[in-house]
Structure 1
Amino acid sequence: MPNVLGCYGPMPFYCSEDAIFNYKDLKTSKQVRWAEHAVYLGKTIKEFLGFSPLEVSFTLRFDASRGISPMVGLPQLEKLIDQHLAFPLIIGGGYVGMMVMDKYDVKHKFFGKGGGCIVAEVSVWFSEVGSDSILNRLI
Structure 2
Amino acid sequence: MASVLGCYGPMPFYCSENAIFNYKDLKSSKQIRWAEHSVYQGKTIKEFLGYSPLEVSFSLRFDASRGIAPMIGIPLLEKLLDQHIALPLIVGGVYMGMMAMDKFDVQHKFFGKGGACIVAEVSVSFSEVGNGLFDGLI
TM-score bracket for this pair, using the shorter chain length? over 0.9
For residues 94 and 52 of structure 2, what CA distance do their matches in structure 1 show?
21
* Residue in structure 1 matched with residue 2 of structure 2 by the alignment: 2
* Residue in structure 1 matched with residue 52 of structure 2 by the alignment: 52
* Residue in structure 1 matched with residue 29 of structure 2 by the alignment: 29
Deviation at 1:43, TM superposition (A): 0.7
2:109 is equivalent to residue 125 of structure 1: no
The residue identity in structure 2 corresponding to 1:129 is V
> Where do residues 95-114 of structure 1 align in structure 2 (5 Å cutoff)?
95-114=95-114
Gaps of 5+ in 2: none
**SS of corresponding position for 1:35:** strand
Aligned length: 136
For residues 44 and 110 of structure 2, what CA distance do their matches in structure 1 show?
55
For residues 55 and 64 of structure 2, what CA distance do their matches in structure 1 show?
29
**SS of corresponding position for 1:71:** helix
* Residue in structure 2 matched with residue 74 of structure 1 by the alignment: 74
For residues 87 and 27 of structure 1, what CA distance do their matches in structure 2 show?
18
RMSD over aligned Cα atoms: 1.5
**SS of corresponding position for 1:40:** coil
Q: TM-score, normalised by structure 2?
A: 0.95
* Residue in structure 2 matched with residue 115 of structure 1 by the alignment: 115
Deviation string, structure 1 residues 60-89 (Cα, Å, up to 9, x no partner): 000001110000000000000001111000
Deviation at 1:40, TM superposition (A): 1.1
| Seq. identity, % | 80
For residues 52 and 94 of structure 1, what CA distance do their matches in structure 2 show?
20
